[in-house]
Amino acid sequence: MTETITIRFVFHRGIFGWLCRIAQYGDWATHCEAVLDDGRRLGSWFLKGGVRIVGAAYDAGEFTLQEFIEISVTAEQKAKYLAFLERQVGKPYDWRSIVSFYFNSERDWQEPDSWFCDELIAAALVACGRFPDRLAVKLNRLTVRDVKLLALLLKEAG
């Protein structure tokens, strides 16, 4: 039986949103999060203290654009994806990776001690087997744009 996982991409107004757009060459999406089956969101936020589960309407009126991308997965993949995400709840926001974007320092996006939004979602896709855990080229940073492109490719691949 085919299941789906849903990832929400959003643009929030404010200085952080504009800085994110600059860091990822102008792409509009500046935050991503998992949409749980009950509609709540699981993601990582600087101002909310890291990885948390929040209500579906937590940012009502605060965003200007949003897009939901559904990816087909098996029941086993979905269970692994959700289990990974649930184990991350309570971990801190990965502010070191954010700093590395602007100062070109090394920080492995897969370090499991803290997450920012796109690292968290990409790591969950790795955990469920929909994204490779290592690439042919070393990748020390990831952007929301990267995860959105990956999600769109996975959606098309089925």
The predicted structure's pLDDT at residue 11 = 87
The predicted structure's pLDDT at residue 25 = 66
**Ranges 26-35, 49-58, 62-71, 140-149: which has the least confidence:** 140-149
Average confidence (pLDDT) over 63-91: 96
Q: Are strands 50-54 and 2-12 parallel, antiparallel or unpaired?
A: unpaired
The predicted structure's pLDDT at residue 136 = 42
Instruction: Give the span between the Cα atoms of 33 and 155, in whole angstroms.
Output: 16
> What pLDDT band is residue 34 in, cutting at 50, 70 and 90?
very high
Q: What is the domain-level CATH number for residue 55?
A: 3.90.1720.10
The predicted structure's pLDDT at residue 30 = 86
Total structural domains within the chain = 1
Average confidence (pLDDT) over 4-32: 78
Instruction: Give the span between the Cα atoms of 117 and 142, in whole angstroms.
Output: 10
Instruction: Give the span between the Cα atoms of 44 and 25, in whole angstroms.
Output: 22
Evaluate if pTM is beyond 0.75: yes
In terms of residue numbers, what domain contains 153? 2-157
The predicted structure's pLDDT at residue 137 = 46
Phi, psi of 28, rounded to the nearest 5 degrees: -75, -35
